[in-house]
Amino acid sequence: METLKYQTEINASAARVWDVLWNENTYSKWTHFFCPDSQMTTDWEVGGKTYFTDSSKKNGMISTIERIEEPKYLVFKHLGEIADGVEDVTSDKVKAWNGSLEAYYLEENNGKTTLKVEVDSHEDFKDMFDKGFKKGLEVIKELSENH
């Protein structure tokens, strides 16, 4: 497992960037590059359930919030996957990556925010994350600065 790191500078407050990241109206715009109809459903509780799914909610990932302090950071721990509506947190396939972290850090200074993303990845997913976050961060920057 490798920790991949991505970063961008945004001319907007951390609160604005946070809203673009997690608001249901903008979330799917920047995550589109990972899954065209991506959705996130969460209870916003540390140790609670968070689901990253397609629009059918039958396929995706099961995660939990490891740490959160709005609008400074949000760290997810990935627990398993959902396939055809069935949750899997115990198979050997899932055990190869469960427990991996995906973290978002926002540092505001003089009205500008540095957004840093760190994600634990298996080698097989490195290209997907590189392409997805490169394009996704561009969208986050654009939405945060211009809307």
- Spell out the residues 6+ positions from residue 53 whose beta carbon is closer than 8 angstroms to its own: 38, 39, 40, 41, 59, 60, 61, 82
Instruction: State yes or no: pLDDT of 35 exceeds 80.
Output: no
**For the segment 13-22, what is each residue's pLDDT rounded down to a tens digit?**
999 999 999 9
Confidence of residue 46 (pLDDT cuts 50, 70, 90): very high
**Distance separating alpha carbons of residues 87 and 82, to the nearest angstrom:** 4
Q: Where along the chain do its domains lie?
A: 2-37+65-79+94-146
Which pLDDT score is estimated for 3?
95
Q: Which pLDDT does position 123 carry in this prediction?
A: 81
Instruction: Kindly tell me if the per-residue pLDDT of 147 is higher than 80.
Output: no
For the entire predicted model, the pTM comes to: 0.93
Nearest-5° Cα angle at 108, 105 to 112: 115
Residue linked to tokens 């997690």: 22
Q: What is the DSSP letter of 91?
A: S
The third-level CATH classification (topology) of the domain covering 2-37+65-79+94-146 is Alpha-D-Glucose-1,6-Bisphosphate; Chain A, domain 4 (3.30.530)
- Summary mean pLDDT of the chain: 93
